[in-house]
Structure 1
Amino acid sequence: MFSEKDFERLWFLYKTEGEPKGVSINSFCISNNIPYTAFYDWFKKTQKKVVPVEVEGIPEELIQAGNEEQQDVAKDKPKRTSSHKETSW
């Protein structure tokens, strides 16, 4: 019996190694000694959880909000004081 992690690893390996080379998922499963039907059953149950995401940059609103927060923190930050008392001898 194969675990959830086995199928997750297989899917990751397929997406990074098999798919770019044009290998079918069926062939990839066979070459990794996993029955395609078992993989397919797992994939059907979890495919709604797997969503491709592409991040290209930070939205302008977040950049502006981040700058405002940094300015607010700088205003609220107490000035640094020395932990050593100066003494005159």
Structure 2
Amino acid sequence: GLAGLSGYLPLPETLSAERHPASAGTPVFLAHGREDGVVPLVRGQAAREALRREGFEVEWHDYPMEHSVCLEELQALQRWLLKVLA
């Protein structure tokens, strides 16, 4: 799986060309702060949508926080990891 916290795709237009068949079925966890002043929420949402358009299964979470982590986010990530690694 792939986990991304408060991130974005810097070159979303290259995603389709760079995608490898080995990544098919790779689950993705993305989480973002709604008040993130470093990486705006809209950039994270755009990454989510670009990955979904390419067929990735994306689990998305957003939280009332800045560019940080919170307990709820870590708990969601833990649940996702346990599911993916089971």
TM-score (norm 2): 0.21
Greater share of residues in strand: 2
Report which of the two structures shows the higher radius of gyration computed on alpha carbons. 1
TM-score (norm 1): 0.21
